[in-house]
A and B are shown apart, each in its own frame.
Chain A
Amino acid sequence: MNAIKIKKLKKSYKDFLLDNVNINVPSGIIVGLIGENGAGKTTLIKSILGIVKSEYEVLKIFDKDYKINESEIKENIGIVLDNAFFPELLTPNDINSSMKNIYKSWDENLFNTYIRDFKLKNNKPIKNLSKGMRKKLEIITALSHHPKLLILDEPTSGLDPVVRSEVLDLFLKFVKDDEHTILLSTHITTDLEHVADQIIFIDNGKILLDKPKDDIIDNYGILKCDHKNFDLIDKNDIVTYKKNKYGCEVLIGDKNKIKKKYKDFVIDNITLEDLMILMIKGER
């Protein structure tokens, strides 16, 4: 089953265009959505959730047409949005009290268990919680109606490494069930290196890369050389490159082939952060 299927999604603003986005997310995996600020990650998430109006040829969630089954589909989605939650005068108790009448499958016991596990207080207003605690509450709220799909916009920002690791463990536990899927946008690419199965890289409203994470880590690499040697590299082997006064960094798409072809060059493994920087800042 596909958790999300999108064909030719478009959303235009005066100065920005999310252009013909095609995405296919199978069930049971964690998909990381990466890209710099203003690349279109939040617009894409908002378009999927109907927070902004977009045009599309196909938008299916759980293989069901979104327009026809919107309410049923949303019953099965848990969300964490950037800067969008309950008013901060309310407490976790108030959230529980409201949510049990909003979601049919809201699980009060599960919510209270999470509250205890994450050491939150039921009667403390959101405004008195630290940024990390707030985020935890948002994640708990997203999980407490047994959703099949989690759509999370920057869920780990503001969390310290210990809590981040707890939250990531929670996500991994969530996707143990093959029916559960997570679409997660983040700037903290190291989180995705730990948990993501698929990476979607979006830049300036366009999808530049949509591949399994292991394929990216196994195949992409950074070739490092001086300016003189740079001219020896076949231009077809270069995805992007960056030059500075000390030398060149070349993003390559087939590490093993390149290693054989250019035996004297240094080729480093790539991180998602390197990939993002070279894809955005590199020349083509």
Chain B
Amino acid sequence: MLGFIKKDLLLVKANLKSLIIIFFAFIFLTINETFNLSFVLPIMGIMLFISTFSYDEYNGWNSFVASLPNGRKKAIQGKYIASIILTIILTLISVLIYYLQVSLNNKDIMMNELINIILSSILGIVIIVSFMYPIIIKFGSTNGRIWMFVMVFLIVGICGVLSNFVDLSFLINAFNKIEKYGYFLIPLVSVIMLYISYRVSLKLYENKEF
């Protein structure tokens, strides 16, 4: 599996130029206090990682993988583990940016704010990874994106239509009630979502022909 993790991270490294530009733009904007969007950096990073699926597809990597020892399983494990590694690195960078922002503006570190940056980064990435990876594996990277948009529009559309007939404020109340357990719930839900997503992706990839 390590070989597949390396391959994906090396591919991200080869594409790093665009991430470095984003990275410096975020440092500048955050330190200037124009935006406080530190949590967006990990999400942008994971979007960059998702481009590895397009490179894989374009270069026939999936056929190559299928002929390697235990290739299909290890390649999927590699994608998920590499995503987690990248998330950790980028979240740490976000924390560093937050620290720089606070220090340079002579403010105190707010523990709540720091934890919010970390948790929102994790949750954002887990939602993207959990939904996008199986969809990309099933439909391919180009069609997968289209399906993703279709799904998002459907969910928003259904909620919009439902809100005309049903009072959905109970959902918001429910979220508000569990918010205080967020520190515990977000990591737990993230692990469960990632695991289910991994199992689905693996099943799809193992049955796929290239």
Contact = CB atoms under 8 A, between A and B. Distances in A.
Interface of A: 46, 49-53, 70-72, 74-75, 77, 79, 81, 83-90, 94, 97-103, 125, 151
A120 to B, nearest CB: 18
B68 A102 contact: yes
B61 A51 contact: no
A100 B7 contact: no
B60 interface: yes
B2 A101 contact: yes
Contact of B67 (A77, A87, A100): A77
Contacts of B14: 89-90, 94, 125
B66 interface: yes
B67 A74 contact: yes
A-B CB proximity, top 7 nearest: A84-B60, A101-B3, A102-B3, A84-B63, A87-B55, A101-B2, A89-B14
A83 B209 CA distance: 15
Interface SS of B by simple majority: helix
Nearest to B209: A52
B210 interface: yes
B10 A81 contact: no
B16 to A, nearest CB: 11
Contacts of A84: 59-64, 210
A52 B58 CA distance: 18
Given A51-B209, A87-B52, A125-B14, A81 B67 contact: yes
A81 B59 contact: no
B15 interface: yes
17 contacts: A51-B63, A51-B66, A52-B210, A53-B207, A75-B69, A79-B64, A79-B67, A81-B67, A84-B59, A84-B63, A87-B7, A89-B14, A97-B6, A99-B3, A100-B3, A102-B4, A102-B69
Contacts of A125: 14
Given A90-B7, A97-B10, A98-B6, A85 B60 contact: yes
Given A98-B3, A101-B3, A50 B67 contact: yes
Contacts of B66: 49-51
Interface residues of B, number: 30
A74 B59 contact: no
Nearest to A151: B67
Contacts of B55: 87-89
A94 B69 contact: no
B70 interface: yes
A86 B64 contact: yes
B74 to A, nearest CB: 8
A57 B204 CA distance: 25
Interface string B3-31: 11011001100110000000000000000
A85 B61 CA distance: 5
B136 to A, nearest CB: 15
Given A86-B64, A125-B14, A103 B69 contact: yes
Contacts of B6: 94, 97-98, 101
Given A87-B56, A94-B7, A81 B63 contact: yes
A89 B11 contact: yes
A90 B209 CA distance: 24
Contact of A81 (B1, B56, B64, B209): B64
A75 B63 CA distance: 16
A45 B31 CA distance: 57
- Which among B1, B56, B60, B64 has the greatest number of chain A C-beta atoms within 10 A? B64
Nearest to B56: A87
Contacts of A79: 64, 67
A81 B39 CA distance: 42
Contacts of A50: 66-67
A6 to B, nearest CB: 16
A204 B184 CA distance: 61
A71 B69 CA distance: 5
A85 B64 contact: yes
Given A97-B10, A98-B10, A83 B60 contact: yes
A49 B65 CA distance: 10
B89 to A, nearest CB: 18
A90 B58 CA distance: 13
B50 to A, nearest CB: 14
Given A85-B64, A86-B7, A53 B58 contact: no
A46 B59 contact: no
Nearest to A125: B14
Nearest to B72: A50
